[in-house]
Amino acid sequence: MEHGEIRVVDGHWYVTHSGLLQLAARRRCNSIRVEPVPEFSNPSMNRWVFKCTVHKSRRSRGFVGFGDADPSNVSSVVRGAEMRVAETRAVNRALRKAYGIGLCSVEELGSSSFRCEQNEIKPHRFPATNGNGNGNATSSGQPNLRDRLCVLIRKHELDPAQVKKYAADFCGTETLRDASRDLVQSFITTLEEQATHDRGALICRLNSYAVDQEVHS
């Protein structure tokens, strides 16, 4: 698999959701069908189970994978998005079966082993300007900036490196770590609005930073 399609988490290799989708696209996968499994799901408890069937070709009998998620097996970073996590896990398992990928996927990791991917923002990069002494969780118990940004990146399947470049440009600093907490807060709010209301335009903007990186490399 190509660069960017696998990650190292806690010293172990894992394939990524985007990597599996890219592999399927290169292999001209015929279809990916996902459906909920109501008999095993419980929306009131945020427990979801999905079934995914991958057909590599029109004549393929199909490869089936199931994915489940509930508050006990997802990270606090994506708490509240169990339905989407379950769907992603189902797709990952079906694609791994279809294309013989032995590596577990990052999205299948449980709450005890999950970590933000290595390219995502680290806590110390958010300087505090509100007097709480750090850029992490506030006294009110609200999610810290790092967690909010991680959630957005994973929820909307954005490229972490491109988001970092966009953030630095938005804040008018050479790197994101040089930006004030207020600027970072403003960037996260803007990113969330763009990802929610016009993700296509946001992806185009983010891709422009990837082009800049290739030109200067």
Global pTM exceeds 0.85:
no
Q: Which amino acid is at 65?
A: G
For the 6-108 domain, the top CATH level (class) is alpha beta
Tens of pLDDT, residue by residue over 115-136, are 444 344 443 344 443 433 334 4
**Residues 197 and 154 sit within 8 Å (Cβ to Cβ):** no
pLDDT of residue 130: 42
Rounded CA separation 19/7 (Å):
10
Taking alpha carbons only, the member of 80, 85, 3, 12 closest to residue 45 is 80
- For the segment 155-174, the average pLDDT, to the nearest whole number, is 84
More confident residue, 15 or 137: 15
Q: Which amino acid is at 160?
A: P
Look at residue 3 and tell me whether its pLDDT is greater than 60: no
Determine the number of helices (DSSP H) and then strands (DSSP E) in the chain.
6, 5
DSSP per-residue string spanning 46-65: TBEEEEEEEESSTT---EEE
Tens of pLDDT, residue by residue over 14-59, are 899 999 999 999 999 999 999 999 999 999 999 999 999 999 999 9
Pairing of strands 12-15, 31-36: unpaired
Rounded CA separation 87/95 (Å):
12
Q: Give phi and psi for 91, each to the nearest 5.
A: -60, -45
Rounded CA separation 170/173 (Å):
8
Pairing of strands 6-9, 12-15: antiparallel
Spans of all domains in the chain: 6-108, 123-216
